[in-house]
Structure 1
Amino acid sequence: MDCVKVIGLEEGWSHMEVGVAKVTRILEGLKEPPVESESYIHLYTTIYNMCTQKPPNDYSRELYDRYRQVCEDYLTQRALPCLREKHSVFLLRELVLRWSNHKVMVRWLSRFFQYLDRCFTTRISVAPLREVGMTCFRDLVYEELHSRATDVVIELINEEREGGQIDRALLKNVLDIYVEAGKDQYKNDFETLMLKDSTSYYSRKAASWIQEDSCPEYMQKAEECLRKEKERVAHYLHSTTEAGLVEIVQRQLLVAVAKQLLDKEHSGCRALSRDDKVDDLSRMYRLFQPIAKGLEPVADVFKQHITAEGNALIKQAEDAATSGGVQDQLLVTQIMELHDKYMAHVMGSFQSHTLFHKALKEAFEVLCNKNVAGSSSAELLATFCDNLLKKGGIEKLGEEAVEHTLENVVKLLAYIRDKDLFAEFYREKQARRLLFDRSGGEEHESCILTKLKQQLGGHFTSKMEGMVTDMTLAKDQQLCFEAYLNTCVATKPGIDMTVTVLTTGFWPSYKTSDLNLPSEMIECIQVFKAYYELRTSHRRLMWIYSLGTCHVLGRFSARPVELIVSTYQAAVLLLFNNTERLTYHEIVEQLNLSHEDVVRLLHSLSCAKYKILKKEPMSKTISRTDVFEFNSNFTDRMRRIKVSLPPMDERKKVLEDVDKDRRYAIDAAVVRIMKSRKVLPHQQLVSECVALLSKMFKPDIRMIKKQIEDLISRDYLERNTDNPIPNTFKYLA
């Protein structure tokens, strides 16, 4: 029987040393033929045999230790001496070369020691041979040189930031060594230091650029820096570095100098907004949007700028009003243009971000709720609509412009707190347009009502729509009345008469009086009443003389003149058909009107532009002792003139009506809330009431408290003394 020869440790290792020496010479660039397959098989077999011999001749442990020693010797004798004498970029190149050579060495040794790696390391649970080789490089080479290498890499990165050309592939290879050295090595030994240096670098740049550059120039540089840092990560830094690096650039170049940047004189956010610098505003949005709360200071400056521009327009309008100029319509137009301009910025440059919508909304809520020269914004907007929708207003702007302007009116109305005040002013003016044939057309009247209805609901426009419908029905009614007169010859009053029948609930309340009408007018009224009673029996007519208009022929000495006057003025003038002179008291007695009304009428006919009546004594005021006489010598170059009445204080009446409606609304809201909740503390009831009513107006807390007390006195509510919470109310069914 043949005996297998036992290979001793030193004998076997001597063969291995030959193979290691050959690989070493190849790695060092010496002339050496490649490792042949016979040599590889011989070395593999030798290791295999030395590991499979029976104890005490199993040299697995010894070979494992000698493998480590080979790696350490190669690094200490070959790699480290060369690395220690290199500096700057040459150090990095040598480090990459030595790392590459070491990996080749480990790969070859792993092939020779393959059986040892497959069986021994797994059997006794020690580190695999490749890991041992990598650990040797990390402990002997990396630990000694990483600090120097990091300094060089950071220096090269800064050189590139300054516009220099560097070997990006070299840096990637160096940093791959950090990554392969272990999961924490790249972060602790390079990334942390590089980020710290980047912080200092960009802090210095920010301090310099913020002084030298305009806001657009600064932002272009910041955007370029962000782009290049992301590019840097893509080329040679590890992907995990990007978030930290970008955050540093954002913090140092944007966050730290945000206030200085945004407030820069002549080029900051205000100037960019004012001058419509769309691209620069878009860049500002792109830069600050990824930063947590980064857009807040931008939106704040945007809001302040809009408010300042709006306040300047309001101040300009107030100054013009003080000096006698008419600026109300111009102001509303300018505010609309301001809204259009900055809404375009919000939708375009700021990509409809909610923060900028909020900034625009808050700015215009301030502007649209200011009083201008004693008039509320609600009144100004209603007056603007009135002028726009009157005859002449539409022709002046053109159809498309009117449509756009009406849309803008509705947009501005959304910012006004006292929408009920606008509604009342608008309704008052709409009524006069419709009744006195001043409207530019039913199409535009309906157009704005449709837009208001979409924005605020049907309850907001129901009365206004009813008024338009009434006018359409009134025209049909008049045609029927004329047909009736043509068929009933005996009933003709001898005077051309037009009657507009309105629905009481839709129209503003108008003053009524027991005016003693002239017989001619009484006859007209009787004729229409007879006709109307044939048409309907369940409606009662109530005549509003204050809205009537009469065409009266004045037969003066020079020539007759047609006078367009109110029903009241006509009643005064017709008194002089039967007499030449009348005292103030006689006029009051025959008309049955109040002193205030008679003074207003007589002033318009004797003291104003057209002196149809002569007054004795002559003066600019009406007194109870005056005597009036028909002025037969009156003449005018026009054959038809309109004798206007002094304007009444509509604002006072509207405010009174709104105040009354608000009290009703508060009562209804309190009852509705208490009916559903039964019992509520005072504070909660007030809060819920404010929330319920704030869509139409901003309720006054004192008024709410007053109405609650009124409801208690009317037995709708009572104080709940049994409830432990003080000041609690209970609903009484």
Structure 2
Amino acid sequence: MMLKKIVTRKVLSIRNHQEYPNDTQQNANQAITLLGLGINTILNSEKRKTSLQELYVIVENLHDTHRPELYEKLNDLLEDTLQQKLESLIQNTDDLLESLNSRWTKFGEHVTVIKNIFLNCDRSTKNNCTNYNTVHHLSIHLFKTIIILNPTIKDNLTIHLVNMIQSRRKGDKVDMKLHESILDMLTDMEVYNEIFHNQFIRLSNIFFSDEGNILIDMIDIRAFLRHVQARIKLEEEISSNYSNLHTSRAVLEAVCKQLIKEHMIDIVDKTFDYLRKGKIRNELCILFDLVKKVPLGLKTLSDYFVEYIIEKGTSIVSNTGNDKTMIQEILDFKDQLEQIVKISFRGNESFKAIIRNCFIKFINSKQNQPALLLAKYVDINLRSKDLLEDDLETILDKVMVLFRYIQGKDIFEAFYKKDLAKRLLLCKSTSQDAEDSMIGRLKLECGAAFTSKIEGMFKDINISQGINNAFKQYLNYASQISSDLCINILTSSFWPSYPSCKVNLPSELVNYQITFQKFYFMKHSGRKLVWQPNLGHCIVKAVFESGNKELHVSLYQTIVLLLFNDSETMNFSEILELTNMETEELKRTLISLACSKTRVLVKKLKSRDIDTDDVFSINHKFSDRLFRVKINQIQLKETIEEEHATEKSVLADRQFQVDAAIVRIMKNKKQINHNELILELFNNLDIPVKPYDIKKRIELLIEREYMERDKDDPSNYTYIA
């Protein structure tokens, strides 16, 4: 028997929601009344008798013609509720922010429920009963007009919001989340500026103005700078609670205006007063960060920076008593300024340029002296045996920076060559590598023409070594004698010019002199030798009661000392006659031998000066812990007259350069106006020259008939071929 399975189909029964009576006016009124009761329970947080679904259906079933009545009912209910809330808020304004925030939050929750009921209505076309086309807009409008814009609430709300920030500024603990929530509410209602922003910025300006006026005179400028920095940081922290960036910017502008801009001159002036006293450094970083926040702040700071550099730099170069330390002081000052710019001024390029321009200005305000002293500074360091190679390289790098600033590079060159000559002839250089390093820097900076004569000096020294070796071989071959004599053959065009000196040399040296000339002219018959005894130096063996010594002395000192082999005592006149030295040169020589710490001679009258009637004798009791004793070579130190002579020679060369440039320009232009000629000269010449000096050279060239003035216009010049 077979069983057949019977399959029955399941039927889904769809029932319509409960139908309400047709949309007659009476029925609409009943529906709206029912809806009003439901909404009222929502607004009062009461237990609902009608479900949200039923309320939603009531709204959905109402015809569009009844929707104005619907919105009017909602409007009335919201107004009644808000009026009740208003009365409660007015009665207790002390806790206004907390109460208002609580009621706004609760009201927002209720409105959200109501929005869901009116969802279909809000989605439909814009209703005509109100200017606010959604429940959301209507609720915000009513809360704003009834509660927020109520004069009592409005005024107290502004006061409470501002006072909360003022309390936070004074260090009190406040609920900034509550503050932020209220500001968000005001933003939603579009009354943020009216109630908070405008008043807050006005009162903030007053607060910061009062604070600045009190503190600028009450506390130390360093403390003031730190206070302003802390104030800005606090305001930035507070501003992070504002959703409105306009307020954040405005309050920070108020801080900067009242605490920085209004006191700009006082702040910068007092800070630089401390900088002059060496009592401030870290605060400069704060100062820079603050002034760049206000218009023209960096301009003011840069003006004071310029004034400070020029003032201190000029005081350094104008101090006639610090010639020995001037360059080191300038370098130390520059290092200090570079650290300030690097660290405090954040490496700002404009302040780097200020340092460069100010150094050029104050260094060249002293005319030729800085160039002269820079050359001396290089000489001291290239003579030093105590410097490590890396330290010397660092010093030379710094020297070249100052060298670029100096306009009188020809002055530097002249004194550098004079000092180099002494280093080479007296073997005083720290090393050949150091000398080469300095020359390489000069060559890179000024070109090969600038260093050609300097390189020629080194070439002469190297050639002289070969000549001396050959001369020793010649002596051994010709007379079978040896000699430690070393003679440097110097090309006159390479080396500084030296005055001609005719002194009476010891006979032994005269014989060597004659022999060397004979040897030299055998290979170089067309040349002329001019002897310069003032550049020579010797090792003299001496016997004292304390023992034998070797004296490292100049040739002039040697000539004087050897006279005492033949006589125990001699007076000044006798020495002068026997040596044929100039009077002043002999005095300097005798001072070094009889009046210095190393006194190998004694004179009867104990004084530092040498008189023509002084009598000298050997100091047999001389003693020194060293076997080889160096006696200061006073005659090799440049006198003021020698410095002036060198400067005068450089200035004469400058005149020749100006003359040559004028003639060159006139030959090219044929005719030229005076002002154009001056401009062309400044563009062509790389030496410092004044318009007055140029005018004098022009007048001289007119006298020498290289050029002439135009008869009709004397300010024009014509070249005479």
Q: TM-score higher than 0.5 here?
A: yes
State the Cα distance separating 1:444 from its structure 2 match: 2.8
State the Cα distance separating 1:272 from its structure 2 match: 5.3
Matched, 1:12 2:28: yes
Matched, 1:545 2:529: no
Distance 1:153 1:335 in 2: 57
1:22 to 15, 18, 38: 38
Deviation digits for residues 483-531 of structure 1 (CA, Å, limit 9, x no counterpart): 3444x516x8997643322344432233347999999878756655565
1:157 to 158, 165, 169: 165
Match of 2:650 in 1: 658
Aligned to 2:48, what secondary structure does the other structure show? coil
Match of 2:334 in 1: 339
State the Cα distance separating 1:394 from its structure 2 match: 2.7
Matched, 1:248 2:254: yes
Deviation digits for residues 582-633 of structure 1 (CA, Å, limit 9, x no counterpart): xx9xx99x99x9xxx7555666689996699x9xxxx9788xxx9x9xx997
2:370 to 366, 374, 377: 377
Deviates more, 1:187-196 or 1:243-252: 187-196
Match of 1:444 in 2: 434
The TM-score normalised by the length of structure 2 is 0.76
Match of 1:214 in 2: 220
Matched, 1:394 2:385: yes
Aligned to 2:240, what secondary structure does the other structure show? helix
Matched, 1:500 2:488: yes
State the Cα distance separating 1:154 from its structure 2 match: 0.9
Q: Which amino acid aligns with 2:369?
A: S
Could you tell me whether the CA contact under 8 Å between 1:552 and 1:563 is conserved in 2? yes
Distance 2:105 2:137 in 1: 15
Distance 2:481 2:697 in 1: 52
1:521-532 aligned within 5 A: 528=516, 531-532=519-520
Query: Structure 2 vs 1, CA of residues 500 and 167 (structure 1 numbering), >3 Å: closer, same or farther?
Result: same
Deviation digits for residues 399-418 of structure 1 (CA, Å, limit 9, x no counterpart): 55544444443344444443
Match of 1:55 in 2: none
1:57-72 aligned within 5 A: 59=65, 63=67, 65-66=68-69, 69-70=72-73, 72=75
Match of 2:81 in 1: 78
Q: Which amino acid aligns with 1:186?
A: Y
State the Cα distance separating 1:223 from its structure 2 match: 1.5
Query: Structure 2 vs 1, CA of residues 429 and 181 (structure 1 numbering), >3 Å: closer, same or farther?
Result: same
Distance 1:108 1:731 in 2: 102
2:244 to 234, 238, 247: 238
Distance 1:430 1:384 in 2: 12
Query: Structure 2 vs 1, CA of residues 283 and 548 (structure 1 numbering), >3 Å: closer, same or farther?
Result: closer
Matched, 1:90 2:95: yes
Could you tell me whether the CA contact under 8 Å between 2:439 and 2:451 is conserved in 1? yes
Match of 1:43 in 2: 59
Q: Which amino acid aligns with 1:418?
A: G
Deviates more, 1:340-349 or 1:400-409: 400-409
Unaligned ranges ≥5, structure 1 = 52-58, 322-326
Could you tell me whether the CA contact under 8 Å between 1:296 and 1:355 is conserved in 2? no
Could you tell me whether the CA contact under 8 Å between 1:474 and 1:500 is conserved in 2? yes
1:190 to 169, 174, 196: 196
Query: Structure 2 vs 1, CA of residues 13 and 546 (structure 1 numbering), >3 Å: closer, same or farther?
Result: farther
Match of 1:279 in 2: 282
Match of 1:171 in 2: 179
State the Cα distance separating 1:249 from its structure 2 match: 0.9
State the Cα distance separating 1:8 from its structure 2 match: 3.8
Distance 1:9 1:273 in 2: 92
Deviation digits for residues 389-431 of structure 1 (CA, Å, limit 9, x no counterpart): 33xx333x55555444444433444444433322222222221
Query: Structure 2 vs 1, CA of residues 117 and 389 (structure 1 numbering), >3 Å: closer, same or farther?
Result: same
Distance 2:445 2:73 in 1: 85
State the Cα distance separating 1:702 from its structure 2 match: 0.9
Query: Structure 2 vs 1, CA of residues 123 and 237 (structure 1 numbering), >3 Å: closer, same or farther?
Result: closer
Could you tell me whether the CA contact under 8 Å between 2:310 and 2:362 is conserved in 1? yes
Distance 1:243 1:720 in 2: 67
Query: Structure 2 vs 1, CA of residues 9 and 530 (structure 1 numbering), >3 Å: closer, same or farther?
Result: farther
Distance 2:256 2:236 in 1: 12
Distance 1:607 1:109 in 2: 114
Could you tell me whether the CA contact under 8 Å between 1:313 and 1:334 is conserved in 2? yes
Matched, 1:225 2:214: no
Deviation digits for residues 49-80 of structure 1 (CA, Å, limit 9, x no counterpart): x13xxxxxxx2xx63x4465345434432214
State the Cα distance separating 1:170 from its structure 2 match: 1.9
Could you tell me whether the CA contact under 8 Å between 1:549 and 1:565 is conserved in 2? yes
| RMSD over equivalenced CA pairs, Å | 5.1
Distance 1:8 1:22 in 2: 21
Could you tell me whether the CA contact under 8 Å between 1:369 and 1:417 is conserved in 2? yes
Query: Structure 2 vs 1, CA of residues 228 and 533 (structure 1 numbering), >3 Å: closer, same or farther?
Result: same
Aligned to 1:506, what secondary structure does the other structure show? coil
1:660-699 aligned within 5 A: 660-667=652-659, 669-670=661-662, 681-690=673-682, 693=685, 697-699=687-689
State the Cα distance separating 1:652 from its structure 2 match: 1.6
1:314-329 aligned within 5 A: 318=320, 321=321, 327-329=322-324
Match of 1:433 in 2: 423
Distance 1:668 1:33 in 2: 114
Deviation digits for residues 183-207 of structure 1 (CA, Å, limit 9, x no counterpart): xx43354222211111111111112
Distance 1:163 1:465 in 2: 72
Distance 1:620 1:332 in 2: 34
Distance 2:99 2:126 in 1: 32
Deviation digits for residues 67-98 of structure 1 (CA, Å, limit 9, x no counterpart): 65345434432214423543546333444445
Distance 1:276 1:410 in 2: 31
Distance 1:637 1:389 in 2: 36
Distance 1:114 1:552 in 2: 116
Could you tell me whether the CA contact under 8 Å between 1:26 and 1:32 is conserved in 2? yes
Distance 1:122 1:691 in 2: 83
Match of 1:121 in 2: 126
State the Cα distance separating 1:650 from its structure 2 match: 1.3
1:259 to 250, 257, 265: 265
Aligned to 1:201, what secondary structure does the other structure show? helix
Query: Structure 2 vs 1, CA of residues 108 and 443 (structure 1 numbering), >3 Å: closer, same or farther?
Result: same
Q: Which amino acid aligns with 2:385?
A: I
2:457 to 435, 457, 467: 467
Distance 1:635 1:97 in 2: 109
Could you tell me whether the CA contact under 8 Å between 2:710 and 2:718 is conserved in 1? yes
Distance 1:89 1:719 in 2: 94
Could you tell me whether the CA contact under 8 Å between 1:83 and 1:91 is conserved in 2? no
Match of 2:12 in 1: none
Could you tell me whether the CA contact under 8 Å between 1:555 and 1:632 is conserved in 2? no
Aligned to 1:257, what secondary structure does the other structure show? helix
